Amino acid sequence: MMDLEVLERIAARRAELDEEQLVKQLSEVRAERDELAVAERVWQRMSEQLADERTEAGSPVVQVAGRAVRPPPDRGPGVAESALPAEYQRILTAVRQAAGPVATRQIGEVLGLDTGVRGKLEPLRGKLTKLADRGWLHKRPDGKFTTRP
């Protein structure tokens, strides 16, 4: 009986190793490998496109007090001033056009804000500080702002 069991195992193993079956398995493995290579190329292309779109769009949109806001990106190589949201571009232009260091109130006047109300200047001060923190402006110890070269 032991010999019969061994013969059955040999026959079963021979069937597993049948050449046609191995060719079919190899074909399936190659097809899956090709599909994975295509998926990898598609993923790479999509990643590059998303990176390009993020660079073009500047900073991502975030929610602040229930509003969608796009904060200014950090200044660096390859980041153009046009990457700034329009509101920040106007602020930067106003600082650039000033003859020397400017206070928040002066920029508010140039932008047409009601500078007599302190509450109107605080959001502007925050934006000026963000521009300074991200390298677009320089904030002096006296609280005034200048452009960076």
DSSP-derived letter for residue 77 is T
Residues with Cβ within 8 Å of 56's Cβ and at least 6 positions away in sequence, in order, are: 83
pLDDT of residue 141: 93
Task: Return contacts of 87-93, CB within 8 angstroms, 24+ apart.
Answer: 87/127, 88/127, 88/130, 88/131, 88/136, 91/124, 91/127, 91/128, 91/131, 92/131, 92/136, 92/137, 92/147
The two structure tokens encoding residue 15: 């069937």
- Distance from C-alpha of 122 to C-alpha of 128, rounded to nearest angstrom: 10
Q: How far is CA 94 from its chain centroid?
A: 28
Residue 26 backbone zone (phi > 0: left; psi -120 to 50: alpha; other: beta): alpha
- Distance from C-alpha of 123 to C-alpha of 93, rounded to nearest angstrom: 17
- Distance from C-alpha of 135 to C-alpha of 63, rounded to nearest angstrom: 23
pLDDT per residue, tens digit, the chain (149 aa), is: 578 888 888 888 888 777 778 888 889 989 999 998 888 888 888 877 776 666 555 556 666 666 666 677 777 787 777 778 888 889 999 998 988 899 988 988 888 888 887 787 888 898 999 999 888 899 999 999 988 87
Q: Whole-prediction pTM value?
A: 0.55
Residue type for 78, please?
Answer: G
On whether the CB atoms of residues 111 and 149 are closer than 8 A, the answer is no
pLDDT of residue 101: 92
pLDDT of residue 144: 92
